[in-house]
Amino acid sequence: MNDQVIIVGGGPAGSAAASLLARSGKKVLLLEKEIFPRFHIGESLLPFSHRVLARIGAWDKVKNAGFMIKPGAEFVLSNGRSLRRFWFGDSLAEPYDKTFQVERSKFDALLLDHAKESGASVLTGAAARGFRVGPDGVEVEYELAGENGRARGQWLIDATGREPFVGKLLHLPRTDLGIPKKMAVYAHFRNVRRNPGRAAGNITVVRLPHGWFWLIPLDEEKTSVGMVRPISAFQNGKGGPSELFEETVRESRELRMRLEKAEAMGPYRTTADYTYRLECLAGSRWLATGDAAGFLDPVFSSGVTVALEGGVLAAETVLGQPKGSTGLSPGQRREFTRRIHGLARRFADMIHMFYDDRAFEVFMTPRPPLAMKDAIIHLLAGSTDLHPSLWLRVKLFYLLCGMQRRWRLAPALDYGP
């Protein structure tokens, strides 16, 4: 077997892994089934993704690509009451004081090109179909332009997103993370009313009694707008997903105001969205990362940041193996799985908080006590290594969320018409 690393999937996780491995002198082959640029949802970044982008050498390219600057995130009820704005710059210094809203067709193509420029071989239009692990390596079968091909290497990194290649072939068990299944319907629009001033680049999350909308400004003209509601709302609705989207806009004062003159620039798309994780993320010669390791509800825009971090972690795990390695030991596989689960876990508590009406009241308090605002901003920015004093405040925040379920410490939110 030759000593190359085969990566399947050229989204943020695959490109991050390929770039780091190639820059560290590894031979890398990346197989991507689509021809780029291609549409993908997941357009709002978090400031702490910058650290990973710097680690793979792509930060300057992303910074100078002309993406819309996102200085903060805001949450508002669908009747327009209780707006809560968080500015990253209130608690974080450069380069974490702002981030970007990215059209994924451009962002993913930039990262895949960066992987190529870093030395990785990239085959686009190549869909992996199967793989076989042998004593000294791994063989991947793929289809390219109607022809079958085979690639051999030492390691396989599965970065195939929400259709996990290895997970499906091996029927790996999934664990539901206790967040009810939802569906998203979304499109790009022109003529969406923007926030004035420096809030123009913010992501706006409009909280419905059961669900939410995102509004993500992508450039001067285009805004990504999507609705996430429980699957039951779609099953019980009279029309299709786009009718439910439009009906929900009509019922919301905030959304009516913002989307009054909006026109869809393309088709509405839908995605069933289900928060889960795979319990086993590594075998003797394969590692699964990014969405191929599990999926998180997107309300806090965590997916791309977690995918980039996970891609780097997979690459570092391969780089840590000695030449002629006989494969990952059971302990190394468990350690990799534990670390990938840990990347997602920091957002899981926040997601539970968002869907818990009482806990959400604490989050929306205009003047959070005990300098908790800093802690919340760090969480919203995707920070991993919080200073102990901030951790304490995060713990306190969740404690207050728990107490709010029994005693109303923060004022109730008014979802009325």
Ligand X SMILES: Cc1cc2nc3c(=O)[nH]c(=O)nc-3n(C[C@H](O)[C@H](O)[C@H](O)COP(=O)(O)OP(=O)(O)OC[C@H]3O[C@@H](n4cnc5c(N)ncnc54)[C@H](O)[C@@H]3O)c2cc1C
Which span sits near ligand X by CB under 6 A: 40-48, 62-70, 89-97, 172-180?
40-48
The residue from 4, 6, 11, 376 that contacts ligand X (CB under 6 A) is 11
With CB under 6 A, what is the number of residues at the site for ligand X?
Answer: 38
Residues 339-378 as x/- pattern, contact with ligand X by CB under 6 A: ----------------------------------------
Q: Of 157 and 377, which CB lies nearer to ligand X in the complex structure?
A: 157
Q: Report the alpha-carbon distance of residue 139 to residue 101 in Å, rounded.
A: 38
Q: Report the alpha-carbon distance of residue 177 to residue 159 in Å, rounded.
A: 21
Q: Which parts of 219-278 interact with ligand X (CB under 6 A)?
A: 226, 271, 273
In degrees, rounded to 5, the angle at the alpha carbon of residue 158 between the alpha carbons of residues 54 and 129 is 140
- For 222, the 3-state DSSP assignment is strand
304 binds ligand X (CB under 6 A): yes
Residues 272-301 as x/- pattern, contact with ligand X by CB under 6 A: -x----------------xxx-----x--x
Q: Of 126 and 410, which CB lies nearer to ligand X in the complex structure?
A: 126
12-43 residues labelled b (16+ CB within 10 A) or e (exposed):
bbbbbbbbbbbbeebbbbbbbbbebeeebebb
Q: How far is the CB of 161 from ligand X (least distance, A)?
A: 2
Q: Of 232 and 326, which CB lies nearer to ligand X in the complex structure?
A: 232
Residues 307-326 as x/- pattern, contact with ligand X by CB under 6 A: x-------------------
List all residues 6 or more positions away from 17 whose beta carbon is below 8 Å from its beta carbon.
Answer: 5, 7, 157, 159, 289, 311, 312, 314, 315
Q: Of 121 and 325, which CB lies nearer to ligand X in the complex structure?
A: 121
Q: What are phi and psi of 225, to 5 degrees?
A: -130, 130
- Give yes or no for a contact between 84 and 364, defined as CB atoms under 8 angstroms apart: yes
The residue from 5, 7, 10, 26 that contacts ligand X (CB under 6 A) is 10
In degrees, rounded to 5, the angle at the alpha carbon of residue 331 between the alpha carbons of residues 328 and 332 is 45
Q: Of 229 and 393, which CB lies nearer to ligand X in the complex structure?
A: 229
DSSP class per residue in 175-217: EE-S---EEEEEEEEESPPPPSGGGGG-EEEEEETTEEEEEEE
The residue from 4, 19, 44, 154 that contacts ligand X (CB under 6 A) is 44
- For 2, the 3-state DSSP assignment is coil
Q: How far is the CB of 350 from ligand X (least distance, A)?
A: 14
Using alpha carbons, select from 46, 23, 92 the residue that is nearest to residue 343.
Answer: 46
- Which amino acid, 328? L
Q: How far is the CB of 173 from ligand X (least distance, A)?
A: 19
Q: Of 300 and 361, which CB lies nearer to ligand X in the complex structure?
A: 300
Q: Of 377 and 401, which CB lies nearer to ligand X in the complex structure?
A: 377
Q: Of 163 and 176, which CB lies nearer to ligand X in the complex structure?
A: 163
Q: Report the alpha-carbon distance of residue 30 to residue 25 in Å, rounded.
A: 15
43 binds ligand X (CB under 6 A): yes
- For 164, the 3-state DSSP assignment is coil
Using CB under 6 A as the criterion, which residues of the chain lie in contact with ligand X when the complex forms?
8-14, 31-34, 40-44, 127-128, 159-163, 165, 184, 226, 271, 273, 290-292, 298, 301-305, 307
